[in-house]
Amino acid sequence: METNSVRVCVPVCVQRASDLAAAIERAAEVADIIELRLDCLAENEREMTTSSLPGCLNSAGTPTILTLRSAEQGGHTSADHEARRRFWSSLHNLPGNYLIDLELDLVLDFAAGQPHKESWIDWSRVICSHHDFGGVPIDLDRVYGRMAATPARILKIAVQADDATDCLPIFRLLERARSEGREMIAIAMGQAGIMTRILGPSRGSFLTFVSLDEEKATAPGQLTARDMREIFRIDQIDQETEVIGLMGKPVGHSLSPHIHNAALAAGQVNAVYIPFEVGDAVQFIRRMAHPRSRELDWKLRGLSVTAPHKSVVINCLDWIDPAAKEIGAVNTILIQKDELHGYNTDARGFIEPLRRKFGSLKDTRCAIIGCGGGARAALWGLRNAGAQVALFVRDPDKARPVSEEFEIESYQLSGASFDGFDILVNATPLGTRGDREPDTAATADQFRGVRLAYDLVYNPVETRFLREARAAGCETLAGIEMLLAQAVEQFKLWTGNEPDVEAMRSAALRVLG
């Protein structure tokens, strides 16, 4: 294998041998290495493929990994240990630039065999692999030790991550392998492990796996080749690359990686924005983020914070912007030397699009539907701008703490008329892509007399709330405007620079269609 700083590997997983050539050709367009997942082939097809493998390897023109993954290790074959052993023993004198991925049990078996019986094995071509789909085993270091004691050239360990902190053992393994002069592939699978796929090569991982598209992923958390190269710009990530991330749960649906990575690319900033699936915010801040306690040596610059952590993180910070303190939520963290500073850009992000529409908001009459974090930021922003605000909710009892804190009236949403209000804001999740998409916080009849309807839901861009408002003759403002405005403020905090807003907008609209 040639020595690239980053190797992107695309697995080819087809059931029929006749489909291999076309699949290899497609993979070669975006891959530095191709993995032929022979376990994906039907049993009878695999036997036929044995004789055609030399031709496949010759035609590939790209370095190739041959894999026959056992069912216990996440493969698609029912072949037991002995059947897999026979299969590999039947392959001799294969041409081309290739590696063979053997699970630890087979490596130990072959390594213990008599030299003349297994003389076909070229250990410089062998990857010794171990997969654990149940989580991070407590004896991970012992597993590594057993693998490192074999004659295999490359070690591969993949474990399931349930939280971003589960990536720490993977990064430690890469550090250990590098210090011991071993070539290694180390991956945390699942949404929570994405950072190991993006940052692994820059920290010594021999390669990272991607898929041709979302339907062809061969392991949980695998990103597409396009996303890895165009959004996360993996070919440009090095040890000097700063890291910015989104902490929340879930984060897989977020547009923030698309928006911020587009701005970083447009500004030629050596930084990458990564989603972090975080269940325990306090542990993540302590073990991975705070400069005085983190267990990972990385150039973390800052974080976006989303549900359900916007209030929880407040107690983990060294300094909080007064506005964020009043709102009671932090959505942005900036690392300043050895301190964490907290901000809330939601409020300004909410207000800026309104200012562009109205100019001054002083004495405008505004109604907000909802009483969650988005409603609090909107309420704070409007009050600071001199607007008169009322809250409308399904359950006034739940809204009472917010009403009392901000000294405003709250009303029952059901049957409410908003005639006489200048602005009506939907700060609920109603209308969000998915099960709630057909819903709306208000109907056309309720919109009569309202001048502007503002929906904080940004996916889809066109919500039922906005359609109902237009049917009543209202102007409308889509949630993507707030999303972009608050992202602009975040970018300025992290980099000190103005972002390319049109690059951010284009990235968001490309995803939203």
Q: Is residue 483 part of a domain?
A: no
CA-angle at 374, arms to 264 and 391, nearest 5°: 155
pLDDT of residue 116: 46
| Pair (201, 271) in one structural domain | no
In which element (H, E) is residue 24 found?
Answer: helix 20-28
Residue appearing with tokens 């550090």 = 175
- Residue type (1 letter), 295: E
Residue 231 DSSP SS3? helix
| Pair (201, 233) in one structural domain | yes
Of 238, 255, 270, which closes a domain?
A: 238
Of 193, 222, 238, which closes a domain?
A: 238
Looking up residue 60, the CATH number of its domain turns out to be 3.20.20.70
Average pLDDT, the chain: 92
Average pLDDT over residues 136-162: 96
Q: Is residue 441 part of a domain?
A: yes
Lowest-pLDDT range, 39-43, 192-196, 377-381, 456-460? 39-43
Domain span at 254: 245-344+488-512
| Pair (61, 183) in one structural domain | yes
| Pair (204, 252) in one structural domain | no
Of 238, 256, 277, which closes a domain?
A: 238
409-460 per-position pLDDT tens digit? 889 998 899 999 999 999 999 999 889 999 999 999 999 999 999 999 999 9
CA distance 20 to 36: 9
Which residues are known catalytic residues? Answer: 310
CA distance 161 to 50: 35
CA distance 497 to 112: 60
Looking up residue 293, the CATH number of its domain turns out to be 3.40.50.10860
| Pair (181, 298) in one structural domain | no
Q: Is residue 354 part of a domain?
A: no
CA-angle at 213, arms to 210 and 218, nearest 5°: 55
**Residues 364, 388: contact at Cβ < 8 Å?**
yes
Domain count, the chain: 3
| Pair (37, 139) in one structural domain | yes
pLDDT of residue 4: 43
| Pair (319, 371) in one structural domain | no
Structure tokens at 295: 């267990």
Structure tokens at 363: 């004495």
| Pair (261, 233) in one structural domain | no
314-372 per-position pLDDT tens digit? 999 999 999 999 999 999 999 999 999 999 999 999 999 999 988 899 999 999 999 88
**Residues 342, 298: contact at Cβ < 8 Å?**
no
CA distance 378 to 348: 9
Q: Is residue 350 part of a domain?
A: no
86-113 per-position pLDDT tens digit? 888 888 778 878 999 999 999 999 988 7
- pTM summary value: 0.92
Structure tokens at 408: 């405003």
**Residues 299, 308: contact at Cβ < 8 Å?**
no
| Pair (205, 86) in one structural domain | yes
Q: Is residue 325 part of a domain?
A: yes
Residue 2: pLDDT band with limits 50, 70, 90: very low
